[in-house]
Amino acid sequence: MMNHSKFIMIAMLLALVFMTQATKEESLIIDDENLDTENMEAPTLEPEQQVFLRTSRFLAQKPQATKITCDKNPRLCRAKGSPGPDCCKKKCVNVMSDNMNCGLCGKKCKYSEICCKGKCVNPRSDKKHCGSCGNKCMKGNVCMHGMCSYAT
């Protein structure tokens, strides 16, 4: 008959064997007839035999930092190096010059237009923004093909 403490010790050894087998392909043979449980010490393992607990790859991943967006903190858009002082769809933009948010969020300029001072204009024909924003043609001149007083 096997007493209770001997049974627990054998169960612990078997558990150790199964955990060791998961990391190493060697097996351990236990001779329970000659097992001296009273003078038994915990087995010492070589570094390559030590059992390492497995963790889920999801638990092992580092938590990702949450991205702070301007919809929750509008001051981000006024910080140095920001693309613009206005927040549109969680992005900092300048509604005075952004072609996708011209004058207000979501207002897109047409393909041939650019955003100048919050208005969509055609730089090929606009006298106040001829060729680029703020390039004003002199009095009496016209803007054609993005140039003032283009010779025909």
pLDDT tens readout for residues 123-146: 999 999 999 999 999 888 899 988
Largest CA distance in the chain: 116
- Average pLDDT estimate for 94-114: 92
More confident position, 57 or 33: 57
Contact assessment for residue 6 and residue 38, using Cβ atoms and an 8 Å cutoff: no
CA distances from 5 to 35, 36, 78 (A): 12, 11, 71
Residue 109 in this model has a pLDDT that exceeds 90: yes
What's the rounded Cα separation, in Å, for the pair 33 and 15?
A: 19
**Model pLDDT for residues 58-68, shown as the tens digit of each residue:** 666 666 666 77
Instruction: Kindly state the tokens that stand for 12.
Output: 């612990």
Banded model confidence at residue 29, pLDDT cuts 50, 70, 90: very low
What's the rounded Cα separation, in Å, for the pair 116 and 106?
A: 16
One-character DSSP codes across the chain:
---HHHHHHHHHHHHHHHHHHHH-S------GGG--STT--PPP--GGG-------HHHHSPPPPPPP-TTT-GGGGGSTT-S-SEEETTEEE-TTT-TTSSSSTT-PPPTT-EEETTEEE-TTT-SSSSSSTT-PPPTT--EETTEET---
What's the rounded Cα separation, in Å, for the pair 112 and 133?
A: 14
